[in-house]
Amino acid sequence: MHEQFDGIARELWSHNASWWQEGFTDGADPEYREQILPLIAKWTEASEKILEVGTGEGQVLRHLLQGRDRTLLFGIDPTREQVELAFKRGGPIRYAVAEARAIPLGNSGFDTVVACLVFEHINDLEPALSEVRRMLVSGGRFLLLLNHPLFQTPESGWIDDQSFGDQYWRIGKYLERKIVVEEVEKDVFIPFVHRPLSDYINTASIHGLRLMEMQEPAPPQGFLDLAPEYYEARFVPRLLGLLFEAL
Ligand SMILES: C[S@@+](CC[C@H](N)C(=O)[O-])C[C@H]1O[C@@H](n2cnc3c(N)ncnc32)[C@H](O)[C@@H]1O
Which of 209, 153, 161 lies closest to 180 in space, CA to CA? 153
Confidence of residue 1 (pLDDT cuts 50, 70, 90): low
Ligand 1 pocket test target in 114, 121, 181, 238 with most atoms within 8 Å of CB = 121
Q: Where are the domains of the chain?
A: 2-148+196-246
> Based on the number of CB atoms within 10 Å of its own CB, is 231 exposed (0-12), middle (13-18) or buried (19 or more)?
exposed
Contacts of 18 (CB under 8 A, 6+ apart): 81
What is the phi/psi pair of residue 108, to 5°?
-90, -10
CA distances to 73, 113, 132, 241 from 40, rounded to whole Å, are 14, 11, 17, 9
Separation of alpha carbons 196 and 175, rounded Å: 6
- Of residues 100 and 66, the one with the higher pLDDT is 100
| Full DSSP string of 90-148 | -SS-EEEE--TTS-SS-S--EEEEEEES-GGG-S-HHHHHHHHHHHEEEEEEEEEEEE-
Closest ligand 1 atom, CA of 82?
27
Which whole number is the average pLDDT over 132-141? 98
Ligand 1 contact, 64 CB (< 6 A): no
CATH code for the structural domain at 2-148+196-246: 3.40.50.150
Q: Tell me: the pLDDT tens digits for 73-132?
A: 999 999 999 999 999 999 899 999 999 999 999 987 999 999 999 999 999 999 999 999
pLDDT on residue 2: 67
Which whole number is the average pLDDT over 139-167? 91
Ligand 1 contact, 77 CB (< 6 A): yes
Separation of alpha carbons 61 and 203, rounded Å: 26
Separation of alpha carbons 157 and 233, rounded Å: 10
**What does the mean pLDDT of the chain come to?**
94
- CA-nearest residue for atom 18, ligand 1, is 99
Separation of alpha carbons 107 and 111, rounded Å: 12
pLDDT on residue 4: 79
Strands (DSSP E) contained in the chain are: 49-53, 72-77, 94-97, 110-116, 136-147, 157-161, 166-170, 178-185, 188-194, 209-215, 239-246
3-state DSSP call for residue 214? strand
Q: Tell me: the pLDDT tens digits for 211-237?
A: 999 999 999 999 999 887 778 778 999
Closest ligand 1 atom, CA of 114?
6
Ligand 1 contact, 121 CB (< 6 A): yes
The count of residues in the chain is 247
- Is residue 51 a contact partner of residue 60, using CB atoms and an 8 Å limit? no
3-state DSSP call for residue 69? coil
Strands 188-194 and 178-185: antiparallel
Examine the pLDDT at 39 and tell me if it is beyond 90: yes
pLDDT on residue 99: 97
